[in-house]
Amino acid sequence: MHGEIGGRRFGDREPLFVIAELGLNHDGSLDRALAMVDAAAVAGAAAIKLQTFKAEDLVAASCPAPAHVPEASLRDFFRRFELDRDAHIAIRDRARALGLAFLSTPFSIEAVDMLQEIGVDGLKIASGDIIYDALIARAATTGLPLIISTGMSTIAETAHALATARLHGSGHVALLHCVSSYPTPEHSQNLKTIQTLARMFDVPVGLSDHGADTSAVALAVTLRASIYERHFMLPGCDGVDAAVSSTPEQLAEVIRAAERTTNALGHGRRECLPVEAVNLAASRRALHATRTLTPGEVVAPGDVVAVRPSTGLTPSLYEDLIGSLVTRVIQDGTPFLGRDLPARGYREVA
């Protein structure tokens, strides 16, 4: 299972595709957003992501705030973080200049239109919109890579969202396991869902990490996550998403941890690896003579011992060696060799 966004591949045997989610931490400031893009590039992210919305299109005037937002008016709250078309273009250009993919989460059909017009590299459907068929359908018609976050959803809802995307032409869909709790308690991360989604839907799967720290990344990689999204903030800034955000230094450590985990997991084949092959002879046994044997003698059980090193007949050939005729002088303590069983054609241990 593979995908590609902005010229960067992700999936099996590819580096973890790390998305720095600018979210609301830019506080509505283009200058801060651009500084965040710069910092994300230095940290080693593969992409940055915005949230594209107008408060009036997102929430009703009477909409209550979620548990993690202590505001009286959610509409007034979101107005603070709106970025206009020109700001999106400036952020797009900065990201591309630094080799980053440019993603955004549209919260309206009009937002999809604008993002498609300015040339976004991919779209993400937020967890809260996994049941918003019209938005998913419009995003799918762009033909852009589509990432669907699955927080708060059931398997049936996820399957329906994926089917909707495919029905409307999306051929490049990935899913993110997500727990929409800010921050997510350790006992509620439910990371095995990464495997469940990959198995059931046969698409690239990742993690949108809302944990209080980033310790889940190694587990996510072990569970074969190919995408990792984390809210991002500048050092010293108290962004609205600070409780679930990482600084550039912390995100860089995420990337290093993912690489270490990938290297440690290896290819999964049970074989003697080059780093251990140098210890093979000294660690394994071969059949050695317990006394000097001369031609014409018959090898008896007391004439043979299995000891290290393994430069000789393997111990599994003990029964075949017993009773064989000695055809050469075999010194005490030396190994029996393949030619000591000429008729059988056995090879020596390497």
- Nearest-angstrom CA–CA distance, 19 and 36: 12
CA angle 29, 30, 31 (to 5 degrees): 90
**Phi-psi region at 151: left, alpha or beta (left = phi > 0; alpha = psi -120 to 50):** beta
- Where does the chain have alpha helices with state H? 30-43, 55-58, 74-79, 85-97, 109-118, 133-141, 155-167, 193-201, 216-222, 248-265, 274-277, 280-283, 318-321
Report yes or no on 349 lying in a domain.
no
Report yes or no on 350 lying in a domain.
no
Cα dihedral sign for 24, 29, 32, 34? positive
Q: How far is CA 304 from CA 71, 223, 248, 317, in A?
A: 83, 48, 64, 11
The pTM for the full model equals 0.90
Among 123, 86, 128, 85, CA closest to 106: 123
Q: What is the pLDDT of residue 343?
A: 65
Q: What is the pLDDT of residue 69?
A: 75
Q: 236 and 312 share a domain? A: no
Q: How far is CA 218 from CA 1, 150, 222, in A?
A: 20, 20, 6
What residues are paired with 209 via a beta bridge?
Answer: 230
Cβ-contact 284, 255 below 8 angstroms: no
Q: 229 and 119 share a domain? A: yes
- Nearest-angstrom CA–CA distance, 169 and 329: 78
The first and second tokens of residue 345, run together, are 């054609």
Q: What is the pLDDT of residue 199?
A: 97
Report the CATH number at residue 336: 3.90.1210.10
pLDDT tens series, the chain, 350 aa: 799 999 999 998 899 999 999 999 999 999 999 999 999 999 999 999 999 999 999 999 888 887 767 777 889 899 999 999 999 999 999 999 999 999 999 999 999 999 999 999 999 999 999 999 999 999 999 999 999 999 999 999 999 999 999 999 999 999 999 999 999 999 999 999 999 999 999 999 999 999 999 999 999 999 999 999 999 999 999 888 999 999 999 999 999 999 999 999 999 999 999 999 999 999 999 999 999 999 999 999 999 999 999 999 999 999 999 999 999 999 999 999 999 997 654 445 44
Q: 283 and 252 share a domain? A: no
End position of a domain, from candidates 215, 232, 265: 265
- Nearest-angstrom CA–CA distance, 224 and 17: 12
Q: Which residue range is the domain that position 34 belongs to?
A: 2-265
Report the CATH number at residue 261: 3.20.20.70
Cα dihedral sign for 59, 208, 113, 52? positive
Report yes or no on 322 lying in a domain.
yes
Among 80, 147, 45, CA closest to 36: 45
- Nearest-angstrom CA–CA distance, 231 and 98: 19
Report yes or no on 149 lying in a domain.
yes
Report yes or no on 346 lying in a domain.
no
- Nearest-angstrom CA–CA distance, 164 and 266: 36
- Nearest-angstrom CA–CA distance, 98 and 8: 13
Q: 206 and 318 share a domain? A: no
Q: 72 and 164 share a domain? A: yes
